[in-house]
Amino acid sequence: MRCNGVIASIAIDVTTAGRRAARMIVHDRAFQRLSPGTLLLQEWIRAASAEGIATFDLLAPAYAYKDDWADAGVAVGDYAGGFGWAGRAYASLYLACLRQRLKAALQALHHLVARTRASWPVRPAGKTTGRAS
């Protein structure tokens, strides 16, 4: 999707046998206030319907915004096992416990940085404060 000739959002999907799997949707933060991701998703779904696509799958992971667009959900799980001690440790510790906690911590950090950054003073480019020596 473009805005005044500039790419505002991009979507990647796989379509086969009347089913479209929405692999990825990203947007340029410069257009954040215009909700380009939401606008693109709306157009993506509309186009799929016009093309006769019977199923539009938003895929995992389960983000809250997907519930606004979905009429059903499917449980998805990870299954892993290791052949050696390192693989078993990875499967039991990282996949079972650490991954979700690290993901939640990174999301919280992202929101904290965004809130903090919004209150930072903005200086015009090329201008500095203080005295020159």
* Residues 9-27 pLDDT 10s: 999 999 999 999 999 888 8
Residue 43 has a pLDDT of 94
Instruction: Report if residue 6 sits inside a domain.
Output: yes
Predicted pLDDT of residue 6: 92
Q: Which domain holds residue 9?
A: 1-77
Q: Which residue has the tokens 């096992």?
A: 81
Identify the H or E element spanning 113. Answer: helix 99-118
Diameter of the chain measured on Cα atoms: 70
In this structure, the answer to whether residues 105 and 70 fall within a common structural domain is no
Residue that finishes a domain, picked among 46, 62, 77: 77
What is the rounded average pLDDT of the residues 101-110? 87
Domain-embedded: residue 129: no
> What pLDDT sits at residue 112?
84
Cα angle: 76, vertex 109, 65; to 5 degrees: 40
- Best-predicted range by mean pLDDT among 51-60, 61-70, 79-88, 109-118? 51-60
To the nearest 10°, the Cα dihedral for 108, 109, 113, 115? 10
**Closest by Cα among 108, 81, 111, 110 to 94:** 81
Distance CA 46, CA 66 (A): 16
Query: Is residue 102 located within the same domain as residue 89?
Result: yes
Cβ atoms of 57 and 22 closer than 8 Å: yes
Q: Are 2 and 47 in a shared domain? A: yes
Residues 82, 19 share a domain: no
Q: Write down the pLDDT at residue 122.
A: 61
Q: What is the mean pLDDT of residues 108-121?
A: 79
Q: What is the pLDDT of residue 133?
A: 47
> What's the mean pLDDT when you consider all of the chain?
85
pLDDT at 63: 84
3-state secondary structure at position 17: coil
